[in-house]
Structure 1
Amino acid sequence: MTEADLYVEYKGVYLPKSVHPPESLKHYEDFIFRPDDVLIVTFPKSGTTWMQEITPLVLSEGDLSSVQSLPNWDRVPWLEEHRAILLNLEQRPSPRVFATHYHRYMMNESYFKVKPKVLYVMRNPKDVFTSSFHYFGMASYLVKPGTPDEFLEKFLNGKTMFGSWFDHVKGWLKAKDEDHILYIAYEEMIQDLKGSVSRIAQFLGKSLSEEVVEKIADSCVFQNMKQNKMSNYSLVPEEFMDQKKSAFLRKGIAGDWKNFFTEAQTERFNAFYEDKMKDVEFKFCWD
C-alpha cells in the first residue's frame, strides 16, 4: 500500500493512520504537562525503547517491577498514539514519563509554557536508516521500503513517518541553551552505559549509588532487554509486526550501516548530510 493508504499528513510530516487517529492527535494538542514530567524525544529508531527501559529504572532507583510487568508502550507511552487516550495519564502520579517522536515545532502550547524535562536521544542517521529499512519491512502499518536505493531517497527527503531526521535533530538542537533538555547519543550509551545512566540520573535529580547504577545498566544491556517480553515487542500480534521477517530489537549496535550501505549509497548519504548539517555547530560523536 502507498503513503496515501497508510499515512496522514499532520503538521507537515507523515504519521501512520492506524496508531495516530485524529482523536489521538487532538488529545496531544490539549495535553497539559507538569514541570516534573520527563519526556523522551527521539526520531524513530534512535533508541526510544532503550530509554523507555532506563528512565523508569532511574526514577524508581532500580526497582525492576515496572520493566518486568508493564509493556514499554504503557510504561512510557507515546503521547501522540491512540493508547495515550486510554491510559488516564492525567491520573498518573508524578514524575510521569512519556515518549514522543514529534519535531520541536509540533509540540503543544503547554510544552513551551511548562518546559518539562526532555531526554533527547540522537543516533547516527546511517544506522537510523538501516534500522528503519528492516522495521518498515516487517511492520504492516508502514509503507514497505522498496529497494534500499528507493528507501534512501525517501529517507533523505523526509518522505517516511515523522519526516526528516535532519530537520528533527536540527529543530531540537535549536533549544540547546535551555537547561531542561539533556542531549545524549545512542553511541554514547553503547560505549559507556553505566556512565550514561549516571548522567541521566544526575539530570533527573536522582542520586544513585554505584550499585544501583550497575543494576540498572545490567538490566538495560541489549541482550537482557531482547529477552524481556515487556520490552521486545513479542506481545504485539504478528499481523501488526512480523518478527519472523526482522526482530524489533534487532542488533543494538553502532555502525551496522557499514554492513548494509553500498559505496554509492555512502557517497550519496555523506554528500546530503554535509549539505544539510553544514550550519550545525553541535559536535556529534559519529562525525
Structure 2
Amino acid sequence: MSLSNENNFKHQLQLRVQFYSMPQNEWKKLRPHFPGYTSGLVKSEPGKFVMNPLYGFHAEKLYRMQPRSDDVWLLGFPKCGTTWTSELIWLLMNDCDTVRASATHLIFRTPCIELPFLTSETELSPQMMNMLNAIEKMQSPRVLKSHLPFYLLHPDLLDTSKVVYIARNPKDAIVSFYHHTKLVKRHNFQGTLEEFAEYFMEDEILCSPFFPHVLDAWSKRHHPNLHFMFYEDLKKNLRGEIEKVAKFLGQSPSDEQLAKITNHLRFDNLRHNDSVNNELGKRTGFMNKEGNFMRKGKTGDWKNHFSPELNSKIDKWIERNLKGSDLTFVTELEYQD
C-alpha cells in the first residue's frame, strides 16, 4: 500500500515517488536489532530510499518546501560531517559571530528539515508541526540542513539556492553511523558492528542507499550553485576549506575572523561546545547515556573496528558501486588538522 499523499494538487508540485512498507523479509531481519523502530520502516519507489513511515506519509510537504534565493542548504548522508559543516556555514553567513553561535543551539540556527518526521509516531504532532512552521517563517538568509537526496527535495532547489554537499569515505561513515544508532534511542541498535555494516551495504538502514545519495550530488558538482566538499579535506586543511566555502557563499571574512572561526571549528573544540555537541539529548532522554554524538571525528578510525574479512568485503562493495565513476574516497590521512 502506498504511503504517499494521494491528493491531487492542481497547479502545484507533485512528488513522483511513493513510499511502501519495507518488504517483510527485510523487516523481519532488522526488527530485533532496531527495537526503536516501533512503527517499522518504508522504502521509496523509485530510489529505494529508507525512512520511517511518518516521513513517508508527508514526503510531499518537504518536496514542496520552497527554497529562497538567499538560502544556503547543506546536504549529506548521516554522520558524514553535516553537524560540523552546518556550524561552519552558519558562522560564515553570520559575520563569524562565535559568541552568538555558542549562545544558541545549532538545531535552531541550522534546522534539519526532516527532523519533525524522525519519530516512531504515526501522526505529526502539534509540536512537530510548529517546528516545520518555524522553518518556513525563519528570517532570511536561512541555513538549512537535510539528509534527503536531491530527488526528494524541491526540483528548483539547485537553481534557486546555494547548496553545499558534504561527503565522507564510506568506511568511517559506517563506523560513525553504527555508534550513532546505538546512542540515539529512536534507533536503539542492538547488534554488532559487523551486522550493522551488512545492513549498510544492503541498503537497509535509515537514509540508505549510500552510494546513489553521494553519486547524484557528485554528478551535479559543476553546477554553479553547488559546492561539493569532503570531510577528509576538512580534517586535512580546515582553514583552507573554510576559505573555499566562504568564496562560494560570497563571504569575505578577515584574517582575524578566519583565525577565530578556524579555532572554534576544530573538532576537539566542538566536542566540548554545548551548542553543537548535542549532549542536550542525554538530558532530555533522546539519547542513551553511553557514548557521544560527536565522538572522534578521525579519518581512518575504521581500522580500529574492521576485521580483515569485513574490510575486504567492504572494499569489494565500494569498488562495485564506484565502477564507471571518477569519484574516489580518501580512507586514511597521514596528517589531520
Same fold flag (TM > 0.5): yes
| Match of residue 148, structure 2, among 60, 85, 102 | 102
Q: Which has the higher contact order (CA 8 A, sep 6+)?
A: 1
Could you say if the C-alpha distance between residues 129 and 147 of structure 1 is closer, same or farther in structure 2, counting changes exceeding 3 Å? same
Report matched runs for 1:1-287 at 5 Å: 2=31, 5-11=38-44, 12-16=48-52, 20=55, 22-23=57-58, 25-82=59-116, 85-86=130-131, 88-111=134-157, 114-142=159-187, 144=189, 146-237=191-282, 239-242=285-288, 244-286=289-331
Q: Percent identity?
A: 27
Amino acid aligned to 2:223? E
1:130 CA displacement: 0.5
The answer to whether the 8 Å contact 2:299/2:331 transfers is: no
1:17 CA displacement: 5.3
**How far apart, in 2, do the equivalents of 1:196 and 1:84 lie?**
36
Aligned length: 283
SS state of the match for residue 234, structure 2? Answer: helix
1:74 CA displacement: 1.3
1:237 CA displacement: 4.0
Per mean C-alpha deviation after superposition, the further-off stretch among 227-236 and 138-147 is: 138-147
Amino acid aligned to 1:79? I
1:35 CA displacement: 1.6
Per mean C-alpha deviation after superposition, the further-off stretch among 7-16 and 70-79 is: 7-16
**How far apart, in 1, do the equivalents of 2:296 and 2:188 lie?**
22
**How far apart, in 1, do the equivalents of 2:279 and 2:53 lie?**
22
For structure 2, the residue ranges without an aligned partner over 5 or more in a row are: 1-29, 117-127, 333-337
1:142 CA displacement: 1.1
SS state of the match for residue 254, structure 1? Answer: coil
**Normalising by structure 2, what TM-score?**
0.78
The answer to whether the 8 Å contact 1:57/1:64 transfers is: yes
**How far apart, in 2, do the equivalents of 1:272 and 1:99 lie?**
28
**Normalising by structure 1, what TM-score?**
0.91
**How far apart, in 2, do the equivalents of 1:10 and 1:33 lie?**
25
SS state of the match for residue 198, structure 1? Answer: helix
Deviation digits for residues 200-250 of structure 1, max 9, x if unmatched? 1000000111111111111111121111111111111453211x3211110
The answer to whether the 8 Å contact 1:28/1:80 transfers is: yes
SS state of the match for residue 5, structure 1? Answer: coil
**How far apart, in 2, do the equivalents of 1:138 and 1:181 lie?**
32
The answer to whether the 8 Å contact 1:42/1:122 transfers is: yes
SS state of the match for residue 42, structure 2? Answer: strand
**How far apart, in 2, do the equivalents of 1:37 and 1:157 lie?**
34
